[in-house]
Structure 1
Amino acid sequence: MARDQIDPTALTSRDELVAWLEAGCRPDAEFRVGTEHEKFPFHVADLTPVPYAGPAGIRAMLEGMQGLLGWEPIVDAGEIIGLYDVTGGGAISLEPGGQFELSGAPLETIHQTCSELYAHLAQVKEIAEPLGLGFLGLGMSPKWTLAETPVMPKRRYEIMTRYMPKVGSRGLDMMYRTCTVQANLDFSSEADMVKKMRVGLALQPIATALFANSPFTEGKPNGLLSARSEIWRDTDNDRAGMLPFAFEDGFGFERYVDYALDVPMYFVKRGDVYHDVAGASFRDLMQGKLAQLPGELPSVSDWTNHLSTIFPEVRLKRFLEMRGADGGPTSRICALPAFWVGIYYDALSLDGAWELVKGWTAEQRQALRDAVPREGLRATVAGRTVLEVAKDALKLAEDGLKRRKRLNWIGEDETIHLRPLMQVVEEQRTLAECLLDKFAGEWGGKIDPVFAEMAY
C-alpha cells in the first residue's frame, strides 16, 4: 500500500466518481506496466522478525535507504513509514507486519521492470547487510506466530486491525503475515477495461496456481500450496473476491463505482488526522451522513484512498491491478508482469484469452478460486485442469510478448521472463511443492532452511 493521496478537490456527484476512473483511459502507445512486490525482513543471526524501532529495525532500514536514494520520506505521526521518488519513480512502503514493499514506477518494458527490481534489491542489500538483516521471498510468513509479528506505526493500519476481526477470520493474517507481487496495467477505453477485467478475474486463479509459494505456517506445512490465497477467502468478503457482476451485461465504470460506493470504508483523513469510520460506506460520505463527520463531503483524496482499500482479485483504479500472486524469488517478480503484459497488451492474445474463459460460469469461476489454494495445478474448471489452462494462457502470453518485440541490450525479447512459469508447467510442480519436498527430505522437517533457500 503506497502513501495516502492528497487532492482536496471536492466530489459532489456519482458522475464525478465515474469520470475519475474514466480518466485512466490512455492510447495503446502510452501503455505502461508497474510492478509491486513485498518481502519479509528477518534477522539473519536468529531468523526472528524485525521490529520497527531499534538500531537494526525497520526505521533504521528506511533511514538508510533515504540516505542512499535521496528519496523523500513518508511520515505518519512523526515516524518515517516509507519513501517516494519525487521525479515520478517508485515508492517504498511498509505493510502492517513490516513487510517491505517496492511500488515500482510505470515502465515501458519488462526488461526495465527487471532492471528496476535488481537495482532495488542491491540497494536494500547495501543497507540491510550491515544491520544484520535479510529479506525472504514467500507468500506467507513461514515461522512466526501472529503474536510474534511486529506492528508498524501506521495509523490506517490501527483502524484496519480493529475492524478486520469483525468481518472475517483471517484479516489479521492477511495484514501481518502475507506477501504478494502485483502487476498494474493500463486500458484504452471502457470496453478495453471490461474485457481486461473479465479476462483478469477469470485467469487470476491460474496465476495463483503458477505462483503458489506459501505452504508453511508457524514452522509446519499448512496443507495448502497458496496459504496467502486461502487467507483472502475469509478476510473481508465485502471488499474481496471474484466480482461476478463484472461479467454481467452493462458492466463498466458506472457499475464498479456503484460497487465501490457500498464497500465499507476504513477511514477518512482530514489534515493529519485519521477518522475511524470503519463500516460506513462511501455512499454515506457522499450524502454527508457520516456519524463521525456529520455534513462532511468527500474529496478526490477520499475516493482514491477508498479505492486502495478494496481488495478484489483484480482491482480497478485508473489502471487494473492483478492481485493473485504469492510473493517469491526475483525471477517470479519479473514473470508476473510478463504474463499479464503478454496477454493484455496484444490484441490477438487478449482475444484468445477471452475465448479461453468466456464459457465459464460464475459458479465455475468461484469453484476454481476456492480450489486452487489447496489443489494448485490439479484443480479443474469446466472439465479442464489448471495445468492445461495454464499452458494455453502461457502460450498466449508468449505469443503476445513475441509480437511486442521489445528487446533487451542483447536482442532478447520479453519472453525470457516467462521461463520460471514455463518450468512450472513443464515439471507440473509449483514452487510450493518443491519446498514441501525439501522440508520432508533434506531439511529434515525443519523450517529454518527456507530462510536460506528463499532469501533475496
Structure 2
Amino acid sequence: MEIKSKNDIIDYFASGIKQDELIGVENEQFLFNIKTNKRAEYENIKKLLQIFITKFGWQEIKENENLIGLKFNGKSISLEPGNQIELSGDKLKNIHEVCVELHNFQKELDSACFDTNLTNMATGYDPVTKLKDAPNNPKERYKIMTNEMPKGGELSLNMMYQTSGTQVNMDYSSEEDFKKKFKLMCYLTPLAIGIFANSAVYENRASGYLSYRAKVWQNTARAGLPKIFLENMDFEKYAEFIIKFPLLFIEKNNSYHYGGDQTFKDFMEGNLQSNKSIPTDRDLGLHLSTIFTEVRLKKYLEVRSIDECEWDCHCAGPAFYTGLIYGNLEESLDVIKKWDQSEILNAYYDSPKKGLNTLINNKTILEWGKIFLDISKDGLKKRKYINSNNQDETVFLKNVENILNEKKTRAEKVLEKL
C-alpha cells in the first residue's frame, strides 16, 4: 500500500486495532568471549547463530549474504550494533507463556554459548567495555546510524553499542483505547526507569547514575520523551509527529541509503533527492522503527524504558505493565489524573540518577511504585490466567515487590558489591 497522505498513515495505525490484547517481549543481552573476557566479535556471533540453526532448528536471516539474525515460529533473533543479541518474542496471551518463551530461549542461548566459548551478561549498560573497544557487525543500517546519529545526540553511539533493554509490546482495541494506553505508558516512564534501574557501572566504576542506560538514551538522537507525548495523543497527532520527523535512511533494492535530513513528508510527496518514488507501508514501518522515543507507536504500542536484567527479573517488567495496561487501565489512569506534565518531565530527567527517590506530585517513585504494584496485582488477578501450579500472573511481580520492600534497586545492590 502506498502512503501518500496523513490519512494513509492514520489508516495504517487504525489497521493495528485488535481485540486480542497480546503481549510481545523483546530482550537484549551482551555476549562476551570467555577466553579474552572481551565482547563477542561478529565471527563469534556467527558461530553461535549456527548452533541455533543446527541444534534447535532456527532459520537464518541474511543481508547481502551476511548472517544477521534468525527466525522460528513467530520469534526472531537479531543483532544490535554492538552484537547485543536480541530475542523478539512471539505475540502471546499471558505472562506465563511469555516467561516460558524467555526461559526456553535462555536455555538455548546458554547451550549455544557453552559450545562457542561465550557467556551472556544481562544488564542495562556494558559495565566493563570502553566504547572504542565495542564490536560491530555488517548490518548496513548500522553504518549509516554510526555516521549520522552522533550529530543529534552526544551519547548516541553509547546507546547503539553499549546498552541493552527490555521492551514490552502491547495491543490497542480502538483509537480511544490507544489514547489511554499511550498516556499511561508515557506518564509511567520515570517509574519504569526508577524501579527497573540496573546499569550503575561504567568502565568498571560507578557512573553516578542508577540507570546509566536511561541517561544515555536521554542524550541520544531521535529519542527521549517529547512533551507532546504527555498531551492527548491520537492517531492524527502521532501521524503529524512522524511526518515532520527526518528520515534516517530508506531502503531501496535491498540496500540502505541515508535520508539526507529530508522528512517523511518529502518522501510522501515524491521529493526525495535520491528517490522520487512514493513510500509504501513497508517504508513507513521502517521510518517508525528509527524513532527511538521511550514509548513508540507502530501497529502496536511499545514500552522501551526498562533496563535489561538477569533471569530472575526478566518477566517482572512485562508482568507489571500487563497488570496495569490490560488488567486495570481505568484505575491506573485515575491515579495519574492530577500529575502535572512538567513534573513528569522533571522526574524523567531525574530518575536515572535518583531512582526510587525521584519525586512526582509530592510522592517518591518508591511510594508511587507501591501504589501501582497493588493496582497491577489486582489487574493480573482479574485476568485469571492460571498455570499448572495453580498460580496466576502475580507470581511474576515478586521481583518488583522485593525492590520496593527493600527500598533498593538492582543497581544499588551492584554498587554495594562494587
Same fold (TM > 0.5): yes
- Out of 255, 268, 282, the residue aligned to residue 286 of structure 1 is 268
AA partner of residue 18 (structure 2): R
Given that residues 244 and 263 in structure 2 are in contact (C-alpha distance below 8 angstroms), is that contact kept between their aligned partners in structure 1?
yes
Query: How far is the alpha carbon of 1:290 from its aligned partner?
Result: 1.1
Partner of 2:13: 21
Runs ≥4 residues deviating over 6 A: none
Partner of 1:11: 3
Q: Equivalent residue of 2:38, what SS?
A: coil
- Superposed, 1:312-391 pairs within 5 Å as 312-346=293-327, 349-391=328-370
Partner of 1:102: 87
Query: How far is the alpha carbon of 1:372 from its aligned partner?
Result: 0.3
AA partner of residue 83 (structure 1): L
Whole-angstrom distance in 2 between the partners of 1:124 and 1:422: 28
Deviations 1:321-346 (A, max 9, x none): 01110000112221111011100112
Q: Equivalent residue of 1:91, what SS?
A: strand
Partner of 2:235: 253
- Out of 79, 83, 86, the residue aligned to residue 70 of structure 2 is 83
Q: Does 1:71 align with 2:58?
A: yes
CA 331–278 in structure 1, closer or farther in 2 if over 3 Å, else same: farther
Q: Does 1:241 align with 2:228?
A: no
- Out of 115, 121, 131, the residue aligned to residue 136 of structure 1 is 121
- Out of 186, 198, 201, the residue aligned to residue 183 of structure 2 is 198
Query: How far is the alpha carbon of 1:168 from its aligned partner?
Result: 1.0
Q: Equivalent residue of 2:256, what SS?
A: strand
AA partner of residue 352 (structure 2): P
Deviations 1:232-268 (A, max 9, x none): 11111xx32223223435x310110110111121111
Given that residues 186 and 230 in structure 2 are in contact (C-alpha distance below 8 angstroms), is that contact kept between their aligned partners in structure 1?
no
Whole-angstrom distance in 1 between the partners of 2:123 and 2:231: 35
Whole-angstrom distance in 2 between the partners of 1:264 and 1:64: 39
AA partner of residue 370 (structure 1): Y
AA partner of residue 228 (structure 2): F
Query: How far is the alpha carbon of 1:66 from its aligned partner?
Result: 1.7
Query: How far is the alpha carbon of 1:44 from its aligned partner?
Result: 2.1
CA RMSD of superposed structures (Å): 1.1
Deviations 1:381-416 (A, max 9, x none): 111111001111111111000111100111000000
TM-score by length of 1: 0.90
Whole-angstrom distance in 1 between the partners of 2:136 and 2:262: 25
AA partner of residue 284 (structure 2): W
Q: Equivalent residue of 2:114, what SS?
A: helix
Partner of 1:231: 216
Whole-angstrom distance in 1 between the partners of 2:207 and 2:301: 31
Query: How far is the alpha carbon of 1:143 from its aligned partner?
Result: 0.4
Partner of 2:396: 417
- Superposed, 1:162-177 pairs within 5 Å as 162-177=147-162
Q: Equivalent residue of 2:306, what SS?
A: strand
Deviations 1:333-366 (A, max 9, x none): 21111011100112xx211211221222221111
Whole-angstrom distance in 2 between the partners of 1:235 and 1:104: 26
Partner of 2:23: 33
Whole-angstrom distance in 2 between the partners of 1:21 and 1:278: 26
Query: How far is the alpha carbon of 1:278 from its aligned partner?
Result: 4.2
Partner of 2:171: 186
Query: How far is the alpha carbon of 1:296 from its aligned partner?
Result: 1.8
TM-score by length of 2: 0.98
Given that residues 331 and 417 in structure 1 are in contact (C-alpha distance below 8 angstroms), is that contact kept between their aligned partners in structure 2?
no
